[in-house]
Amino acid sequence: MSIHKLSAGSGYDYLTRQVAALDATHKGRVGLASYYTERGETPGVWVGSGMAGIHGLVAGDVVTAEQMRCLFGEGRHPLAGQLEELGDLPALLPPPFLGLPFSSGSSEMPPFQREVAVRFAAFNQAAGGPAGSAIPADERARIRSEVARDFFRVEHGREPADARELSGALAKLSRPRSTTVAGYDLTFSPVKSVSSLWAVADPRTAALIEQAHQAAVADALRFLEQHALFTREGRGGVRQVDVRGLVAAAFTHRDSRAGDPDLHTHVAVANKVQTLAGKWLSIDGRLLFKAKVTASETYNTALEHHLTDRLRVRFTERPNPDPRKRPVREIVGVDPALNERWSARRKVVVVREGELAGRFQQEHGRPPTPVEALQLAQQATLDTRDAKHEPRTLLEQRATWHAEAVHLLGGAQQLRGMLRTVLQPPAVPFQTVTAAWLAATAQQVVATVEEHRSTWQTWHLRAEALRQVRDADLPLDQVERVIDQLVDHALQRCIPLTPPDDGITEPASLRRADGSSVYTIAGADLYTSARILTAEQRLVATAGLRDGWTVDHASVELALLEAAANGRQLDPGQTALVRAMATSGSRLQLAIAPAGAGKTTALHTLRAGASPAYELPPGSAIAALQSLRGLS
**pLDDT band at residue 153, thresholds of 50, 70 and 90?**
confident
Assign 264 to helix, strand or coil. strand
Spatial CA neighbour of 253 closest among 40, 110, 62: 40
pLDDT at 559: 82
pLDDT at 406: 95
Model confidence at 163: pLDDT above 70: yes
Q: Does 136 reside within a domain? A: no
Given 342, 373, 398, which residue is the final one in a domain? 342
Model confidence at 90: pLDDT above 70: no
The average confidence (pLDDT) of the chain is: 82
pLDDT at 23: 41
CB 374 within 8 A of CB 21: no
pLDDT at 36: 33
Same domain? 601 vs 511: no
Q: Does 626 reside within a domain? A: yes
Same domain? 477 vs 554: no
If you write DSSP's letter for every residue of 201-256 in order, what string do you get? S-HHHHHHHHHHHHHHHHHHHHHHHHHT-EEEESGGG-EEEEBS---EEEEEEEE-
Distance CA 80, CA 71 (A): 9
Given 291, 307, 342, which residue is the final one in a domain? 342
257-264 mean pLDDT:
85
Q: Does 121 reside within a domain? A: no
310-321 mean pLDDT:
87
Same domain? 310 vs 446: no
Question: What is the extent of the structural domain holding 454?
Answer: 435-533
Q: Which residue has the higher pLDDT, 453 or 430?
A: 453
352-369 mean pLDDT:
73
Given 342, 366, 390, which residue is the final one in a domain? 342
Highest mean pLDDT among 3-7, 272-276, 318-322, 431-435: 272-276
Q: Does 539 reside within a domain? A: no
**140-144, 272-276, 427-431 — which is least confidently predicted?**
427-431
The total number of structural domains that make up the chain: 3
Spatial CA neighbour of 149 closest among 160, 157, 139: 160
pLDDT at 528: 96
Model confidence at 42: pLDDT above 80: no
**pLDDT band at residue 346, thresholds of 50, 70 and 90?**
low
If you write DSSP's letter for every residue of 548-614 in order, what string do you get? S----HHHHHHHHHHHHHTT----HHHHHHHHHHHHS--S-------TTSSHHHHHHHHHHHS-GGG
pLDDT at 337: 92
pLDDT at 616: 40
Same domain? 202 vs 280: yes
**435-449, 490-504, 590-604 — which is least confidently predicted?**
590-604
CB 596 within 8 A of CB 164: yes
Same domain? 57 vs 206: yes
582-586 mean pLDDT:
83
Q: Does 297 reside within a domain? A: yes
Same domain? 314 vs 229: yes
Q: Does 169 reside within a domain? A: no
Q: Does 349 reside within a domain? A: no
Same domain? 624 vs 526: no
pLDDT at 419: 96
Residue 262 CB neighbour total at 10 angstroms: 22
Model confidence at 270: pLDDT above 70: yes
Per residue in 207-233, pLDDT (tens digit) is 999 999 999 999 999 999 999 999 999
Q: Does 231 reside within a domain? A: yes
Q: Which residues contact 62 (CB under 8 A, 6 or more apart)?
A: 33, 43, 44, 45
Spatial CA neighbour of 212 closest among 297, 296, 292, 300: 300
Model confidence at 276: pLDDT above 90: yes
